[in-house]
Amino acid sequence: MEGNKKRQADNRGLIVVDNNSNNNSKKVKNELALRQTDSTSKEIILGTERTSKLKSPIMQLSGHKGEVFTVKFNSTGTAIASGSFDKEIFLWGVYEDCINYQVLKGHKGSVTELHWDRDGEQLYSVCTDKSVGIWDVKEGRLIKRIREHHAFVNSCCPVRRGPPLVATASDDCSARVFDTRKRHSVQTFQHKYPVTAVCFSDASDQVITGGIDNVVRVYDIRNNESELMILQGHSDTVTGLSVSPDGSHLLSNSMDNTLKVWDIRPFAPNNRCVKSLIGAQHGIDKNLLKCAWSPDGSKVTAGSSDSLVYVWDVSSGKILYRLPGHTGVVNQVEFHPNEPIIASCSADKTIFLGEIKP
C-alpha cells in the first residue's frame, strides 16, 4: 500500500522509469513514460482507469537510429514490427517491458511499409532499394527478395484471405501483385504517374491504388485492362489507403490535409465519398502518412506533421483524440487487434504504445 501511494503521489508530470532486465544495472533501450492529465481531457492518452494489459498506460520504444516510417501489430497483438530509415526492421514484444527481441537486416534503403502475414510467421516489407522482402520471423532471416520494380517501392499490402498474394506500389508508375510462391509478379497495373499507396479489397479480388495524380483507382485482379472505379475528390497526393474490417468502405489519406471515407460496395450511389475528416496535417516534408481502421470499424486514425496522433469517430466525423508525445512527424498509427491500444511511429525515431478508452 505504501508503494502504491508513493507512486500516485509522484505522478504529477512526466516520469521516466528505467527497465532493467537480468536484474543488473545495464540500461535497456526501452523506457517507460507516464504522463498524468485532467480526467476531462481527451488530448492525453493516459487516464486513471487502466483499459489494457500494457505494463503502463504509455510505453515508449526506442532503438531505431533513423526515422520510423511504419509500425504494425501481428494478428494476435502480442508483437509489433517497425521499419525505419536506418534500413532495419525491429520486432518488439507488446506486453511486459516491450523488449526488442529481433532485428531483421538485409534491405539497403529505407523500409517504407511492412505487414505481417495472417499467421504471424512471415513479414512482408518494401523499401527504397526497389525490392520487396519476405522474412521468416521465427528464424529472423530473409526468405525471398523480389526485385521487379524499377524505382522506390512505397507501399505493400497482403490479402486477408485466399492465396498468399501481396500488392505493391512504386514510383515506377506501377502497382504489382505477387504470389509469394512464384518468382515473378502475376499481375501489373500500369499508371501514368508514381503510385504511392495500395491495398486489397476485403474479398481479395480487387486492388486499390492511390498516387500523385490525386485519384483512387479500383482494379479487378482478374482483368487489368480498365478500372472498375475511379474515386475523385482529393486535391493532392494520396498517401495511404485502408479498407474497413467489413470491406464496405475505403479510407484514404491525402496531402490535401483530409481523410476521406468511400463507399466501395458494388451498387453504391455515384457519389461514393460519404465522409471527409479534417485535423491531421501534411507538412513540407511530404511524408507518405498512412491511415487505419479500428477492429470494429467505428474509428479511424492517422498521424500528422504536427507531431500528434489523431483518432476520429467515423459516424460523426468528430476528433475523439488528439494525442501528444512525439517530437516529429507521426508517419503511421495502428490499432491493436484485440485491446484498446494504439501504436504510433515517428520521425523522432521512437514508437509509442498507449491506451485509449474502449
In whole angstroms, give the CA distance from residue 130 to residue 171.
Answer: 9
Note the pLDDT of residue 49. Answer: 81
pTM over 0.95: no
pLDDT band, very low/low/confident/very high, at 46 (cuts 50, 70, 90): very low
Asked if 273 and 264 count as a contact pair (C-beta separation under 8 A), the reply is no
Note the pLDDT of residue 48. Answer: 55
pLDDT band, very low/low/confident/very high, at 5 (cuts 50, 70, 90): very low
pLDDT band, very low/low/confident/very high, at 296 (cuts 50, 70, 90): very high
**For 138-182, what is each residue's pLDDT tens digit?**
999 999 999 999 999 999 999 999 999 999 999 999 999 999 998
In whole angstroms, give the CA distance from residue 241 to residue 168.
Answer: 12
% of residues, the chain, pLDDT over 70: 86
**Closest to 76 measured CA to CA, from 293, 337, 356:** 337
Q: Which helix (H) or strand (E) holds 9?
A: helix 2-10
Laid out side by side, the sheet with 100-105 consists of 68-73, 79-84, 88-93, 100-105
**For 241-277, what is each residue's pLDDT tens digit?**
999 999 999 999 999 999 999 999 988 888 899 999 9
Q: How wide is the angle at C-alpha 125 spanned by C-alphas 121 and 127, nearest 5°?
A: 165
User: What structural domains does the chain harbor?
Assistant: 51-355 (2.130.10.10)
Asked if 219 and 174 count as a contact pair (C-beta separation under 8 A), the reply is no
Position 76 pLDDT exceeds 80: yes
**Mean pLDDT of the region 315-325:** 95
Mean pLDDT of the chain: 87
Position 16 pLDDT exceeds 80: no
Q: Is 118 exposed, middle or buried (0-12, 13-18, 19+ CB in 10 A)?
A: middle
Position 39 pLDDT exceeds 60: no
In whole angstroms, give the CA distance from residue 132 to residue 125.
Answer: 6
**Mean pLDDT of the region 341-358:** 95
Contacts of range 220-225, beta carbons closer than 8 Å, 24 or more positions apart: 221/177, 221/187, 224/187, 224/188, 224/189, 224/190
pLDDT band, very low/low/confident/very high, at 30 (cuts 50, 70, 90): very low
Asked if 191 and 176 count as a contact pair (C-beta separation under 8 A), the reply is no
CB atoms within 10 A of CB 62: 14
pLDDT band, very low/low/confident/very high, at 41 (cuts 50, 70, 90): very low
